[in-house]
Structure 1
Amino acid sequence: MDINANIESPFVMKVSFDKLLCKYEELIHDDNDFIASNAKRVLKIANNNPVLRGGFSETKIFKEYEKEISGILQDAFNPILSSNEIKTASIPFHNLIFNKSERFKSIIKNAGNNFEPELLNMPESQRYIIACNIILNFCYGYDINFKRPFLYEIPDENGVTRYYKILYNADFVEVKPKPSAPKITQKDYNELLDNFENIEMWKEKFPPNSYEFNGFVISNIFDVTDDQSISNIKSTLIGSEKRKNKSFVKDFRDVFQSLFGIKDIEVGFSLYNPMDDKFERIYGAGMNSYLLNDFDTAQCSDTLCEWSYHKLLIEKDIFSISDIDSAYKISEGKNVPHISVLHKQGIKSAIFAPIANETGLMGVLEIVSKNPQELNSINANKLVDVMPFIVSAVERSKEEEANKIQAVIQQECTSIHPSVHWRFVQEAKSFINQQLQGEEPSFKKIAFDNVYPLYGQIDVKGSSEARNFATKMDLEIQLNQIKSVIKRASELDNLPIYQQFVFQIEKYLTEVKNNFQVDTEQKVTSFIDEDIDPVLKHLKTDSKLNSEIELYFNSIDNQTGAVYIHRKKYDDTIALVNREMAAFLDSKQADAQKMYPHYYERYKTDGVEHNMYIGEAITKEDSFNPVYLYNLRLWQMQVMIEMENAYYQMQSNSKFPMKLDVASMILVFSQPLSISFRMDEKHFDVDGTYNARYEIVKKRVDKAFIKGTEERITQKGKITVVYSQKEDEQEYLRYVRFLQDKKYLDTDVEILELEDLQAVTGLKAIRVSVLYHKSEDDKDYYTYEDLMQEINA
């Protein structure tokens, strides 16, 4: 097989030992007899095997002349050092190794059967261009620092991956242009500096097979697994604590000066804010941004031209400008902002590298020089090896910043809904930047003006009565148990005090059954704790009463210290109702947010209440239209009906320990209002005296009566919409008709007036019965009465 087969390259390659043998021809006249004798030995091998000097490209020659090649290379692969040195003889751009030190053989053997070492950092797409750079050096004298560290990644005998750096000795290589090869001019060279990745341009100037490559390379290989050179970059990268250190920027610049081998370069950074598509300055001692120059923040589209914007933000790829003065002259009159801002700062060449991970761009690394052509598309490739560490460090830095921002928000505020989180982040960043600049930080007021409120609740109907009924049942059970024990004690020991206890217990039983008051529970509990429990603990010592008293105490709940049977059913039901209804509403809210972002909060009482605010100020975009408000109002009404259906479906499936009814209500407030975050109370509230009317109505309206009656406005089996404006009535009647057509609502629409509330008059309500389904898949619909008959059957 020919080593040139199936490889596109500017080289026609031959392995030849001619340049090495020329060295031995010089040594044959050396004064040292041993050196001269050794040179004669090597030359004798070559003279007997002319193919080794003339060159060959067939791989079978390596096998045929294995012994002879080894003899010629004996000095380079000294047997005394072979077990220690890691060394190979090979052909560039191939994995073909034809001579190895014993140490290298051992490393490959330990890696496992059939392991073939492959070069890292030698992408197939770049091999052609790297070969062209070798030609520029060998044939035209352009000393381009294109070299990158080439590595082998080889597992050891324990399966641990180790890294080996390869240093090539090209002393025995000769590169010559064929007569047909185009001559490279200074203009060609300048053009190539800015087009490292333009493979077609390189092929045009260095056509395939237009140069002869004769010779071989010797690779000196070193284990760099523990090497700290790149860790120096990692240790000096961006971090909140390091940014406060004045030496940070200098240390970081020094690392890159070493990496590029260029003294006169500077390093800057720009953070990327994806929410606003802006670049932002990093605050800290000595930090700079050459893209932003004098600005703290700027739109990316105002900072970059269309091409560079696409390169950095879309492709997330490195780009460079090797001659900014020349680019500035060409771009005069055109919109190339990054060229203008660099030229203004006296920068002559620059490299910009995106700091990006799988989630997107996080920032831009800026490397600049006051000298033209020092930074270019060729040596920009040096960044490929260090960018992963920069990305990792910036990820950590952003995580630390996010944690710090969250800590400030949590300290100054509370858990924040995603729709307004951006505003808190904005203020927290400002708070932190004030700290970094040595100022006394303050967290400013966060407010949103001209937003429309929506309020709704699904509340357990008659919750107080249900709780009282459960309490009465438990107290009766406990008092009767105590009465039984005390009567038994009186039979065993006829003490008047026992008769007095029985009398008191019967009085409490009568009060619980017939005249239960707000303080009845507290009076009975105090009587039991203070008078009865000490007596029962004393009587427990009597073996005749021990089992009865033990049975009583076993019926007492450890946490409440009382019989907790019916109250537990009630409390468990309320907790389960709250959990299920809140989860249902939250899941529906995820879809509503996709329609149009808005603020949402919900909280649990004897049911679930929710607030929503929608408007331009919250979305931060010039996109709000009243249609989104109308859509959210209709969504709210429909979802609350679905919540009622979900509740009664769970009740029919015996999911709740106790059967309780719920009633739903929506409050309409047609005027936009202002809300602000109350730092002391850690939640949003309305601003202004007029807007406070909305909060008053929210707190009182569900207890309001229909005018001229003692009937509450909210009723089980019905949804109630409270409003004050005729326009609201017309709007919601349209929604009612739509939902009637969809079989969500019945036909019994009522328009009702409410009794005046304190400081609030003129409220009206639309009330209409909800239609229910027995299950999610059930297509039939039922009135509340039908459903109750079904559940109770």
Structure 2
Amino acid sequence: MLIEKNYSLDINDNIESPLILKVSFDKYLSQYEELVSTDNDFIAANARRVLEIAEKNPILREGFSDLSSFKTYEKEIEGLLQDAFSPILTKNEIKTASVPFHNLIFNSSERFKSILKTAGNNFDLEIKNMPTDQKYIIACTIILNLCYGYNLNFKRPFFYEIPDANGITRYYKILYNADFTEIVAKPNAPKITLEDYNELLDNFENIELWKEKFPPNSYEFKGFVISNIFDVTDDQSISNIKSTLIGEDKRKDESFMEDFHEIFRSLLGLKDIKVGFSIYNKDEDTFERVYGAGMNSFLLDTLETAQCSDSLCSWSYNRLLKEKKYFTVSDVEAKYKISEGQAPHVKVLHDQGIQSAIFAPIANDEGLMGILEIVSEEPKVLNSINANKLIDVMPFIVSAVERSKNEEENLIEAIIQKECTSIHPSVHWRFEKEAKNFIKDQLNGKEPYFSKIAFENIYPLYGQIDIKGSSEARNLATKQDLTLQLKSIKSIINDASKIDSLPIYDQYIYQANQYLKRISSNFQVDSEHQISGFIKDDIEPVLKHLFVKEELKSKIDAYFNNIDKNTDAVYQNRKDYDDTIALINKEMAALLDAKQVDAQLMYPHYFERFKTDGVEHNMYIGESITKEDSFNPMYLYNLRLWQLQVMCEMENAFYLMQPSFPVKLDVASMILVFNQPLSISFRMDEKQFDVDGTYNARYEIVKKRVDKAYIKGTTERVTQKGKISIVYSQKEDEREYLRYIKFLQSKKLLGNDVEIVDLQDLQAVTGLKAIRVSVLYHKENNDKDFYTYDDLMKEINS
């Protein structure tokens, strides 16, 4: 039998190697020369038989490399190798005689031939885990060992992957016997020195260096190798499971589950099986779907989650959750009939066309974590006998699930940290440093503590885009909803009084009219609460009583259909208001966050924002935050200009979106300038940064109150729609921002109506001033015409 993938005239054709290959039986025959003189007549006679074949065909000792010789001496080679390939064992052993570093096999056992025949004519036999580009270097390491006496260990397990009759990949490990080989240096071969050897040790991947030391065809190989091959499909499947489960983000990989299916098909020797998983939620006693590409759960089918008691019968529940042992359903159809469709796990399999299944608990000492589900559409192919094969793989699946569970917990914690208690990237290094010190103290047996996180000598920047008249708009929406609800109640009670003339109905109508008057003329803080109490305590019981009357049923139905389930009241106008606030906050925050990405690239700084009735933001910039000796006041000025420009863009973005909001609202923008550096520290209790020191606290007071401040001597607020207000206290700040305004006027972002005003004193804060300037707007993103606020409103409303 001759197997050679790339047919050529000579085995050395089309191969670059330091070795010239020759198949020779000289070393093999030397074994028989010793056996001729043995005392055992039978062994001696057999040795003479083998040596006689060689004497008649001297080329078998001398060696050859042309493929035609394999055909010419096929019978003679079989005669020489008869002892190595025993006819008695040929149908059991998997064995070949071949040329190393080559796809050529010139003799093999009957079982090996049968395995290849089953694989099909289109199957190409090749060693899977020997990279082609490394064959040259591997040959060189063998030369170093055999010719120069070094002991380089480059032994790696090599495998064949060959499909069986069912198309399932089986794995065969190859063990080489190289006793019958020899390597001789040709005259042109460079001699390898100790310096050469030392250089090669650190340059395994430098193919050009190896070729320099071992030029192509500089050594001659004579002999052949015998390969003993073993079916290690089970071991390799277990190894593949380990490899498949190692690594991050496997669930995102489309091929992950298909590979997993293939591995279990090889392990169980079954072609048409599928693998699924379900997670066990101990707190809820439920099974949940595993999310990821190709993931499925045959226990849940189409459900996202289900109670364990609804998914399993009492026996299977106890088996998986209490005993933590696997069980099988080898014949789903038969079990379905016996249980009359009442066993939940059998029914769900039956409904999916599954005919046999294995359910294996993924559990550790702490309890069940999930279920491994293996299913087939063929009955009886999955059963309690082949389920035993899972015993060897379950520990690896358990380890993977434990790791995945920990990763998910860490991810959940990371999301919570990011979304709820975010640590900005600019200061993350400082928290990381303290966390490392905390861990170090723990490991050294010290009492660990998290040191104070503080940054000194940093400059603050504060800005807000605030919704004007939000309280009034909210009150108006509340009054409109209460009016709708009370008028609906009056209509129903009026109709009821026509059916039954009861004085109590007149009382209810009178009460409703009184509340309607209060809404229109004297709506106060507690009015909403009083009206809600009247409706809930007095009116709703009456409406439920009147519901039995056919004449009133449709009206009462309509009334309750208009009641929002969450607020237990009419929630139409207030919903429009709340939706508008949410949209404004979402869009403004998104725009600010997107702009911040570019700002951080200019120079790293701390940034945080808050959604209230509008969006506020804090920024801090300085040497202590960046931890590098690189800060320059230029970066502060740059950030101030950036802030002013972004506020203009946010104003424009808001008024472009305003017509799409459910409620028409206006905004006013403000920037607070504080020209003295201050210190901030992280407050562990509130999970946020705050200013340090009494003097610095003045900055926080101004921040909280300044947007409500009045221009001195007037009742006019400093913040005004259509304008940006820049609040400051120092003359140099005024000069600086007037320069920025002039620059942005040239860019058509700000108008020419700059005014400077004094502010009334705030509690503990005096001497504040403000620059106010109009924002220029455009109607569309690509509109080149700019408008004042009044112009824009006329255009929008026209």
TM-score (norm 2): 0.73
Change (3 A) 1:535 1:148: closer
Shift of 1:216: 1.1
Match of 2:643 in 1: 636
d(CA) in 2 for partners of 1:92, 1:424:
58
Of 96, 103, 106, 1:98 maps to: 106
d(CA) in 2 for partners of 1:226, 1:55:
40
Match of 1:261 in 2: none
Structural RMSD (CA) = 3.3
Partner of 1:42, secondary structure, is: helix
Q: Which amino acid aligns with 1:514?
A: S
Partner of 2:628, secondary structure, is: coil
Partner of 1:219, secondary structure, is: strand
Any conservation in 2 of the 1:405–1:429 contact (CA below 8 Å)? no
Q: For this pair of structures, how many residues does the alignment match?
A: 635
Any conservation in 2 of the 1:578–1:607 contact (CA below 8 Å)? yes
Any conservation in 1 of the 2:427–2:625 contact (CA below 8 Å)? yes
Any conservation in 2 of the 1:82–1:101 contact (CA below 8 Å)? yes
Q: Which amino acid aligns with 1:691?
A: N
Shift of 1:6: 3.3
Of 611, 615, 630, 2:618 maps to: 611
Any conservation in 2 of the 1:408–1:428 contact (CA below 8 Å)? no
Any conservation in 2 of the 1:30–1:36 contact (CA below 8 Å)? yes
Match of 1:691 in 2: 696
d(CA) in 2 for partners of 1:607, 1:597:
25
Match of 2:264 in 1: none
The worse-fitting range, judged by mean Cα deviation, of 97-106 and 202-211 is 202-211
What pairs with 1:530-541 in structure 2 (closer than 5 Å)?
530-541=537-548
List gaps (5 residues or longer) in structure 1.
Answer: 240-388
Match of 1:496 in 2: 503
1:24 aligns with 2:32: yes
What pairs with 1:287-686 in structure 2 (closer than 5 Å)?
403=410, 414-652=421-659, 655-686=660-691
Match of 2:66 in 1: 58
Partner of 2:689, secondary structure, is: strand
Change (3 A) 1:195 1:505: closer
Shift of 1:699: 0.7
Match of 1:782 in 2: 787
* Percentage of matched positions with identical amino acids: 74
1:73 aligns with 2:78: no
Any conservation in 2 of the 1:409–1:424 contact (CA below 8 Å)? no
1:770 aligns with 2:760: no
d(CA) in 1 for partners of 2:212, 2:692:
71
Match of 1:727 in 2: 732
Match of 1:13 in 2: 21
Any conservation in 1 of the 2:171–2:236 contact (CA below 8 Å)? no
Change (3 A) 1:564 1:134: closer
Shift of 1:512: 1.0
Any conservation in 2 of the 1:598–1:619 contact (CA below 8 Å)? yes
d(CA) in 2 for partners of 1:400, 1:478:
51
Partner of 1:588, secondary structure, is: helix
d(CA) in 2 for partners of 1:230, 1:140:
39
Change (3 A) 1:221 1:577: same
Q: Which amino acid aligns with 1:788?
A: M
Match of 1:310 in 2: none
d(CA) in 1 for partners of 2:737, 2:162:
73
Partner of 1:46, secondary structure, is: helix
d(CA) in 1 for partners of 2:742, 2:760:
26
List gaps (5 residues or longer) in structure 2.
Answer: 1-8, 248-395
Match of 1:706 in 2: 711
What pairs with 1:4-403 in structure 2 (closer than 5 Å)?
4-120=12-128, 122-157=130-165, 161-185=169-193, 189=197, 192-197=200-205, 199=207, 202-227=210-235, 403=410
Change (3 A) 1:414 1:434: farther
Shift of 1:665: 1.0
Partner of 2:125, secondary structure, is: coil
d(CA) in 2 for partners of 1:686, 1:512:
44
Partner of 1:166, secondary structure, is: strand
- Which string of whole-angstrom CA distances, capped at 9 and with x for unpartnered residues, describes residues 38-74 of structure 1? 2233233333333222211112222232222222212
Any conservation in 2 of the 1:176–1:213 contact (CA below 8 Å)? yes
Change (3 A) 1:571 1:10: closer
The worse-fitting range, judged by mean Cα deviation, of 160-169 and 589-598 is 160-169
Q: Which amino acid aligns with 2:785?
A: D
Change (3 A) 1:28 1:728: same
Q: Which amino acid aligns with 2:621?
A: I
Change (3 A) 1:164 1:625: farther
Q: Which amino acid aligns with 1:178?
A: K
d(CA) in 2 for partners of 1:561, 1:404:
37
TM-score (norm 1): 0.74
Shift of 1:183: 4.3
Shift of 1:76: 0.8
Change (3 A) 1:60 1:404: same
Change (3 A) 1:438 1:157: farther
Change (3 A) 1:213 1:513: same
d(CA) in 2 for partners of 1:184, 1:539:
107
- Which string of whole-angstrom CA distances, capped at 9 and with x for unpartnered residues, describes residues 279-327 of structure 1? xxxxxxxxxxxxxxxxxxxxxxxxxxxxxxxxxxxxxxxxxxxxxxxxx
Shift of 1:148: 3.4
Change (3 A) 1:198 1:564: closer
Match of 1:740 in 2: 745
